Amino acid sequence: MAEPGLKTERVLVTGAAGFVGFHLASRLLAAGAAVHGLDNLNAYYDPRLKEARLAEIGAHPRLAFSRLDLTDYNALKMLFAEFRPEAVVHLAAQAGVRYSLVNPRAYASANVDGFLSVLEACRAHPVRHLVYASSSSVYGANSKVPYHEDDPVLAPVSLYAATKRANELMAQTYAHLYGIPCSGVRFFTVYGPWGRPDMAYYSFTKAILEGRTIDVFNHGEMQRDFTYVDDVVEALVRLIDLPPVIGATGGAHTIYNVGNHTPITLERFISVIEAALGREASKRYLPMQPGEVLATYADVERLARITGFAPRTTIEEGIARFVAWYRTYHRF
């Protein structure tokens, strides 16, 4: 039985060896849920980190894991039939804005075709709730801040963002046609221990410790709503038991921002990392890169109203925890 406060007892987590998926699976197991994780362990970044995350969870009587690519629909459908999840948290995706400029087909395959497999599996084996990861990137060239879920999202500036917006439209369609309750979660720059090496805070930490120069885009004037991973997981766990109800359009589909609602400049972010490391960074200032946006800033009123929770970890707390983990994991 799941602990009081978590009614859902069987949860399928896609991307379970990934950054957020690993943290979520750990939290769900601690809460008493049965978890089936799946991941294809691809080589976008070092698979040994993904394997280390799985090893950190360890053998657990309520955890099962399948190495599976979501585009293998028949295998996914069999997994649904055997596990019979009450809820699905879909986190598997090809991540990264800049990489989408280099390898766009990976995004069409993983993010669009892979998500279609998840939707079809939920259609074949109905679930109480499908929670899926979207991204603040969908706000694209919007200049109004803070971003609200009802703001227009018509101008993505990267293929990654376009695939995440496509996911939202696909989920809305399946909610309308087949009554699948869906919640899309727009993440705002998630960071923390066990994070992704391609993210700026991870690569900055590595470079500073190794005495290398870091590239600071837009001359450090970009703003990001950095969100600590434990806050993201808390939001996801609360949302699992709160499927949307059928609305006026006939579909049960809701979008939530999950961000720290406190944007900070890249320059200040680097200074927090420097303080945690006790070292100054050598910086090379560069212009804005293609596919990037100037600022992200989450309006989280909807999340707070529905779940009673809003992210609250300060950047100083979160970076200190990340740096402590980094030094331990990398023995630095």
Is residue 132 a part of any domain in this protein?
yes
Is residue 58 a part of any domain in this protein?
yes
Is residue 37 a part of any domain in this protein?
yes
Catalytic residue among 160, 191, 256, 326: 160
Is residue 207 a part of any domain in this protein?
no
Q: What's the pLDDT tens digit per position in 80-129?
A: 999 999 999 999 999 988 889 899 999 999 999 999 999 999 999 999 99
Q: What's the pLDDT tens digit per position in 146-157?
A: 999 999 999 999
Do strands 87-90 and 34-39 pair parallel, antiparallel, or not at all (unpaired)? unpaired
Is residue 216 a part of any domain in this protein?
no
Do strands 213-217 and 253-258 pair parallel, antiparallel, or not at all (unpaired)? unpaired
Q: Is 160 one of the catalytic residues?
A: yes
Torsion of the alpha carbons at 199, 205, 313 and 272, rounded to the nearest 10: -120
Is residue 240 a part of any domain in this protein?
yes
Is residue 69 a part of any domain in this protein?
yes
**Domain total for the chain?**
1
Q: Supply the CATH number for residue 117's domain.
A: 3.40.50.720
Radius of gyration for the chain, computed over Cα atoms and rounded to the nearest angstrom: 19
Residue 60: give the domain boundaries: 10-192+226-261+295-312
**pLDDT of the residue at 4:** 47
pTM over 0.85: yes
Structural contact between residues 207 and 275, judged by C-beta atoms closer than 8 angstroms: no
Structural contact between residues 11 and 240, judged by C-beta atoms closer than 8 angstroms: yes
Structural contact between residues 318 and 226, judged by C-beta atoms closer than 8 angstroms: yes
Is residue 105 a part of any domain in this protein?
yes
Give average pLDDT by consecutive 10-residue segment, the chain, 332 residues: 72 98 97 97 96 94 97 97 98 92 94 98 97 96 91 93 97 96 97 97 97 92 94 98 78 94 94 98 90 87 97 97 98 91
